[in-house]
Structures are given as structure tokens and as C-alpha cells.
Amino acid sequence: MSDKTRKFFNRLIKISAATIGTIALSVLSTGLIIAREIPDSFSIVEGEKLSFNNKFPIKAELTGSKYVLANNISKAGKHYSDELMFLGSVPIKNIKVSVVKQVSVVPSGETFGVKFYTAGVVVVGMTDVDTAEGAKNPAYEAGIRKGDVILAINGKSVTSNSEVSALFSASNGKSITVSLKRGNVGFSVTFKPALSVSTNSYKAGLWVRDSTAGIGTITYYNPSNYSFAGLGHGICDVDTGKIMPLLTGDVVKVNMTGIVKGTSGQPGELLGVLSDTVWGNLCMNNKTGVYGFLNSVNVGKLVPVAMKQEVTEGPAEIIATIDNSGPKKYSVEIEKIHFNDDSPTKNMIIKVTDKNLLKATGGIVQGMSGCPIIQKGRLVGAVTHVFVNDPQRGYGIFAENMINSSKVLEKSQQKDVS
């Protein structure tokens, strides 16, 4: 072999090695990116095998418990490990799989009103007290902040704005102890309310809220016990953005009176009057929605709930109520799916494609939070948010996330009964 030929083959080998290395690195990098997006755990319905939607070119290979049989039949209550393979051969992540019973519920789409009363009172703002010595804010100086929840004053539980105001005023400037909660952490502060020269009363220097009301949509209900789930996101304070602590809450019917159509930069809303007749009660308010029990339900068809990995990009339907004629189905497109556990209410991006709904509302409007999303005969999620600059689009939550919260509620009710 001549030197020229030898040099040619050496160069070819180097180029081939570099190309193979680049491809391998690209495959590995892509696999790692996918691995970061995929959660550490999944649930599958008994009798089924873990498989993914069309979002990822991956498959699961059993690496843990040998419980799953050759014919892929599994039983509820079992757990095993799977190794995810990218492109069928590159291992990228180990995940845990839980086998659960198939859950079926009745999708609703009916609007409901909420009269929500807080456990304690929420601090929604701070304001200085005009004292003889100048502006002061005793509450802020003591460490109270916007978003904190006041539970008690001098050991006395408080549940209303008037109670808080009266106790501050009755202090006559003496030290008081306020028990609070910030997130999941409880703490207490002690301070002296300041005398306002304009009102001649003692004040702490804060604004509080003890209740709220609004309109949303019921996602589904369980006809066996009348439990329901709605909104797909928690009820948050409008000033602090934090989830409001629930003391009690009434669910009421809504008489629809109109629609404010959504436009770019200006979200629309459903308009309605809340009934005085109690239809049910709220028992739980968390980041995935509101949960409780209804006094009565309409007869409806049970549909299975899809696991998150079964949701696919493509056509779907939502069920919504936009007038007094009741819930109707409207076509949408699931454009993107996200498995981000850090944002449990923003699992998918949906686009309204139904001409009738677009004509009536402009897309997604306030009050449609909770509208069930149906795909291939299964409940896959619920509408949660609208894009302010594009009312035709919005976010949705996986139905599986809401079902998990419903299970927590039902278990707590069983404990209370026992």
C-alpha cells in the first residue's frame, strides 16, 4: 500500500470515528434531555403495560420486580422498576411504576359557584398607621408579611376581618401575640398596635381577607358517593397569589347571564348570578383544584381516566357550559404535553378549534377552569388557564393529578366516619 493510500485510509478512519463520536454524543445528549423531562414515577392500570404516547421515542424494559407476567397482566397495589430505553437500545433512566385500579368518573362541564371562607384570615396588604409620631407599621416591624395567614390573636382563633379589627382595637396599645402560618410553617409574633390619630383606634397596619366567591367548572364527579372535583387549580388570593386556606365552602348553582369575549391582552369571562341554595360543600382546596361533595348529581356516563403517559398530542374535546342550556362538547387540539412535576396544573397546551365556541367566547375565558378534556373516550385532563395574549390557547392539567387528590379526600372522609 502506497503512502498516499495509507494516508487516505487513515484520514477516512479519523473522519469516520469523529462522525460516529458526534452521532453518539448527539444521541446521548438527546436521551439525557428526554430523561430530565420524564418524571421519576408513573402509574399504570392493572392488566396493562407501561407505554408512552407519541411524544418520546422510548420504551420501557422491566428491570425490577418480576411480578409483571409474560402476558403483561399486572395487579393493583404492586410496584416495580422500569428502565427507559431511548431509540430501543440506549438506557437513559430508571423509573418506578405503580399498578392501580382503573378509575372511572362522570365528566361534568357544568358551571358552579363557590362561596369560600378561609381558615384564619389572609394578610393581603400592609399599610402604615398614622400616629402622632409619624407613620408606623407595627405588624410589618414584627415580621408579618403579605400572604401570611393569621390563625389566632392572644390565643383566640379568628375567622373574620371584623374579629381581627376588634381585637387590635381592644388592645389599647398593649402587647398582643399573633399566631400565624406562612406556607406550612407556623410561628408567632408579639407587638403593640399603634394608635391612629385619624380614627382614634389602635391598628396593626395590615389588610386581611376572610372570604371570596367566584364561578368555575366541575371537572367530574363520582356517582357512587357524589364527590366532585373542579377548577384544575387552587383558589388563590387575588392580591397575594397564594392558595387560600379553606375553613368552609359552599357550592351553589349558577344562573348564566352573559359572556365577556376574550381578546388578546384582555381575558374574557363567564358572567352569572350565584344561587342562595347550597348544592354541595367544599372540603379541600389545593394546587390541583377544589374538591368536595354534591347533594345531587345529573345521571351521566362513566368514562375511564387516562394515565398521563396515555395522553397524546392531537384532537380532543372539552365540555363547557357557556349559557343556561347546559354543558356541550367543543373541539380542541392538544398541541403540547409536559411531564413537569413542578407545574402540576400546566401539563398540556390546548388550542380551541371549535368555530361555535370561538364565536361565542373567543376561546378560553375565566369560569371555564375545570372544563373536562376528553380524548379517545377517556378523561385526560381539565382546562386550567388561558394565555392572556392568545385566548384561543391555554393550559390543561392531567386528570390523573386531580384523581390523586380525590383519593386523598375520600380516604380522609373514610377516616372521619370510622
Residue 119, amino acid: A
Strand partners, 333: 315, 351
Report how far apart the first and last C-alpha atoms of the chain are (Å, whole number): 89
Percent composition of the chain: helix, strand, coil (DSSP 3-state, to 5): 20, 45, 35
How buried is 186 (Cβ within 10 angstroms: 0-12 exposed, 13-18 middle, 19+ buried)? exposed
E strands, 73-226, where? 79-86, 90-100, 104-107, 111-126, 129-131, 134-136, 149-153, 156-157, 176-182, 185-191, 194-196, 201-203, 206-222
Contact in structure between 373 and 396 (CB atoms under 8 Å): yes
Radius of gyration of the chain (CA): 27
Other beta carbons within 10 angstroms of residue 328's beta carbon come to 16
Catalytic residue set: 233, 354, 369
Gap between the Cα atoms of 238 and 319, Å rounded: 27
Which amino acid is located at 274 in the chain? L
Q: Which residues contact 257 (CB under 8 A, 6 or more apart)?
A: 271, 272, 273
Determine the Cα–Cα distance for residues 250 and 280; give it in Å rounded to an integer: 6
Alpha helices in 56-192, H assignment, sequence order:
138-142, 161-169
Q: Please, is 11 exposed, middle or buried when counting C-beta atoms within 10 Å of its C-beta (0-12, 13-18, 19+)?
A: exposed
